[in-house]
Structure 1
Amino acid sequence: MPWILGGDFYTVLDSSERKGGGGNVTSMRNFGSFISKMKVINIPLRGISFTWTNHRERASWAKLDRFLISPLLISWMPNIVQVGLSGTISDHNVVMIGEKK
């Protein structure tokens, strides 16, 4: 069965997914290892670069929220994308999944 796993993973894959603050290298490696072992696909995020901010004067941003999808889903829906929407009142932006037209 095709499947999707989405949510706030509370870590980034690499330093390019974080701005304004350091990252935990061990956490990044573990997350990358999880993605590899599960054989899931981290599809690109469109619309925004980061999904979370701390809203402080010295702001930090990170891509914490995402959808990971099974390879079978890609074969069924080759045009699947995830799109981030900015401007929410939360510290997390909304990330939606759908098909590009």
Structure 2
Amino acid sequence: MNRKSWLVIIGLVLMCISLTGCVPGDGTNTSENPAGLFWGIWHGWVAPISLIIGLFKGTIRIYEIHNTGWWYDLGFYIAVISGFGGISLSRRKKRSENN
């Protein structure tokens, strides 16, 4: 493997480690300090990582239970739809060979 490959691998590992610092259920949010719109957006983006961590650590979930309600839900769904659904919306249709 060349140097560029190693830098990419190290970068991906560091990014994954940093993403695990702010997953739902980590104790950052409480009933006195609930998660709001921006935390909802963040938790929607890291939902796949939260799901994997939740398999090994029971307190981690993909959704923060201590949240502000509708605003948190809006942020969460915006992130999930734009992060995952946006991928399929941006794909180009292949041109048929008959054209």
- Taking structure 1 as the reference length, the TM-score comes to 0.24
User: Which structure carries more strand by proportion?
Assistant: 1
- Indicate the structure (1 or 2) with the bigger Cα radius of gyration: 2
- Taking structure 2 as the reference length, the TM-score comes to 0.25
